[in-house]
Amino acid sequence: MEFSRKLQQLPDQFFAALVQKVNAALLQGRDIINLGQGNPDQPTPQHIIAALQEAAQNPQTHKYSPFRGIEELRIAAADFYKTTYNVDIDPQTEVAILGGTKIGLVELPMALLNEGDVMLLPDPGYPDYLSGVVLAGAEMKTMPLTADNDFLPDYTKLDAETLEQAKLMYLNYPNNPTGATATLEFFEETVALAKKHNIAISHDFAYGAIGFDGKRPVSFLQAKGAKDVGVEMYTLSKSFNMAGWRIGFAVGNKDIIAAINLIQDHLFCSIFPAIQHAGVAALTKELHELDELSDLYERRRNVLVEEAHRIGWNITAPTGSFFAWLRVPEGYTSAQFADALLNECDVAVASGNGFGEYGEGYVRVGLLVSEERLCEFIARVEAKNLLHAAVK
């Protein structure tokens, strides 16, 4: 049976191909240090697990959830934003519950855009943003993220026609894959641009709890007027080590939230209520653990950077997220260096070109293994002299 044109147009799943390569190596009995994916290595906190267990014992949670999620979770999301970012959120009109924010990011273009409408995407960026473009039948224009502008888009380089056509913009800070963070001033500049050109903003805040050097990431909604133009998507996957639980939320502009809720009314019947109650526990209890998790990633970052510099690999320290964005040595493409790491060092990384044209020249490394394994990664690169053994 032939797939629809939209399915045929979907991009190849970048991470699925990476997993296949890693699994093939593991089947050969090789000791692979897997730095290629974004799967947290720490367990979900015990108080969240206990909340799930308790809720699952209640027969009321075995029924259908309300289509738009339980009220307790919407209130918890609003309270979390007030406590953490001093942002006021109306739990009735400014929160949409998501089965993980990937769903929200893919469905939002279908909810806001018509066929042929233009959306602006960061390059490099999370590959699944492209899926929403295709499924909406939209057009895409990219905003280069480069080191000379701290991996922030330079709005002055967007031409007048693009700004006139654009209806939706995606941003993501702390950034995947670059590990860069944004300032409040940048978000204020974004709000001004959005208001001037009538562009809706969706800020992917997946790594919102992970910032380094004494600085915690800024929420887009902290910028004055942000709720007039956009929403922020917050997943529990990274901040609370709940990647497999598939739960998150969008907060912000009530009209965009209404659009998300409406499309989800037709696609889903919300999330298992016991998981939603676990989400309430995550957002309301033991929030000091967010800082402890961020500190863990910072220690790992420091070890990686120090060891890389020791062998002459002049990488730049990320300022947020649990990723490091490493320049490949001279003489390699991104794919060549990623293959060399896997084939010669038994280390898996994500090739930068998989994140877009401007990802070429980099590989992405996850800070999702122990400090000892990160040291071993660099030691293997040193032992194989990969920094100086470029592809001929």
Q: What is the mean pLDDT of residues 256-280?
A: 97
Please choose, from the candidates 124, 11, 1, 38, the residue with its C-alpha nearest in 3D space to the C-alpha of residue 368.
38
The reported pLDDT for the residue numbered 261 is: 98
The reported pLDDT for the residue numbered 293 is: 98
* SS3 assignment, position 346: coil
According to DSSP, the residues that pair with 324 across neighbouring strands are 365
Q: What is the mean pLDDT of residues 363-390?
A: 94
99-113: pLDDT as tens digits: 999 999 999 999 999
Residue with tokens 């910032």: 211
Alpha-helical segments (H) within the chain: 5-9, 14-27, 46-56, 71-85, 101-112, 129-136, 160-165, 184-197, 226-229, 236-239, 254-267, 273-284, 288-310, 334-345, 371-383
The reported pLDDT for the residue numbered 390 is: 58
320-354: pLDDT as tens digits: 999 999 999 999 999 999 999 999 999 999 999 99
The reported pLDDT for the residue numbered 389 is: 67
203-254: pLDDT as tens digits: 999 999 999 999 999 999 999 999 999 999 999 999 999 999 999 999 999 9
Sheet containing 200-204: which strands, arranged edge to edge?
95-98, 248-252, 230-235, 200-204, 166-172, 118-123, 139-144
Question: Up-side HSE of residue 66: CA atoms within 13 Å toward CB?
Answer: 11
Is the per-residue pLDDT at 13 higher than 90? no
The reported pLDDT for the residue numbered 392 is: 43
Contact 116, 280 (CB under 8 A): no
CA distance 140 to 25: 36
Q: Walk me through the domains of the chain, giving residue ranges and CATH numbers.
A: 5-44+289-383 (3.90.1150.10), 46-284 (3.40.640.10)
Q: Which two tokens mark 163? A: 């700004």
The overall average pLDDT reported for the chain is 96
Is the per-residue pLDDT at 79 higher than 80? yes
Q: Which two tokens mark 8? A: 């045929």
388 falls in which pLDDT band (50, 70, 90)?
confident
Is the whole-model pTM more than 0.85? yes
121-164: pLDDT as tens digits: 999 999 999 999 999 999 999 999 999 999 999 999 999 999 99
Distance of CA 317 to the CA centre of its chain: 18
Please choose, from the candidates 82, 101, 80, 111, the residue with its C-alpha nearest in 3D space to the C-alpha of residue 200.
111
Helix orientation angle between 129-136 and 101-112, rounded to the nearest 10 degrees: 30
* SS3 assignment, position 374: helix
